[in-house]
A and B are shown apart, each in its own frame.
Chain A
């Protein structure tokens, strides 16, 4: 079991560029989540999904889009990156509302 994996591990973008972060889980979990973690702050929920083909907004969704075309994958897109989106992004999955299992994170720097 690989658990939750994230691609890429690290990325540098210029303002205005776009990119997609990929999250994959092999635990057959229904629920998947995208968070961002900034220094001195708790993790904040960006978007989440309760199943294939469904997504919903979290606490800080602006500037991000997501897609869940397959149960095991959850994609996070930045259409036009801004320096304020410099952060560490964590994906997580859970069996419905139970304990969340987190990926190793993607460190994003927007210049």
Chain B
């Protein structure tokens, strides 16, 4: 069964500090991995997408890494801001078809305190 596990479930960091979120997956066949940001009461918004051949992708202060051999990904947030408070969801795709090929992780809830 395809699974995506994220850790930690939640974390609190001080404004200006860095943090790293983890994502482990067992999805086959692997197509791509996305990180989404979901603000409270809003829908998820895509941050990054990586295919098998990419091992890092940045979007501003967000940097995602992918190790396809160990089936692990991380999302690093640099110099956190209060607006980074949100849930971050790791999503792994097993193909480009529209069907139930996406497996969502449970998310990591990040709270940035001043």
Q: Does A62 touch B at the CB level, under 8 Å?
A: no
Shortest Cβ distance from residue A93 to the other chain B in the assembled complex, whole angstroms: 10
Contact of A45 among B4, B49, B95, B100 (CB under 8 A): B100
Give every chain B residue within 8 A of A58 (Cβ-Cβ).
99-100
Give every chain B residue within 8 A of A63 (Cβ-Cβ).
none
Kindly state the separation between the CA atoms of A9 and B98 in the bound complex, as whole angstroms.
26
Q: Does A102 touch B at the CB level, under 8 Å?
A: yes
Q: Does A76 touch B at the CB level, under 8 Å?
A: no
Kindly state the separation between the CA atoms of A45 and B106 in the bound complex, as whole angstroms.
14
Most buried by A among B49, B98, B102: B98
- Which residues 76-100 in A have Cβ within 8 Å of B in the complex? 90, 92, 94, 96-100
Kindly state the separation between the CA atoms of A97 and B42 in the bound complex, as whole angstroms.
22
Shortest Cβ distance from residue B89 to the other chain A in the assembled complex, whole angstroms: 7
Task: Give the number of residues in B that approach A within 8 Å (Cβ atoms).
Answer: 23
Q: Does A2 touch B at the CB level, under 8 Å?
A: no
Q: Is the CB of A42 within 8 A of B44?
A: no
Give every chain B residue within 8 A of A66 (Cβ-Cβ).
none
Give every chain A residue within 8 A of B49 (Cβ-Cβ).
99
Contact with A along B73-105 (1 / 0, CB 8 A): 000000000000000010001011111101111
What is the interface of chain A, defined by CB distance below 8 A to chain B?
Answer: 4, 31, 33, 40-45, 48-50, 56, 58-59, 90, 92, 94, 96-105
A-B contact pairs, 13 of them (CB 8 A): A42-B89, A42-B106, A43-B89, A43-B104, A44-B104, A48-B100, A59-B100, A90-B43, A97-B95, A99-B49, A102-B44, A102-B45, A104-B43
What is the interface of chain B, defined by CB distance below 8 A to chain A?
Answer: 4, 34, 41-46, 49, 89, 93, 95-100, 102-107
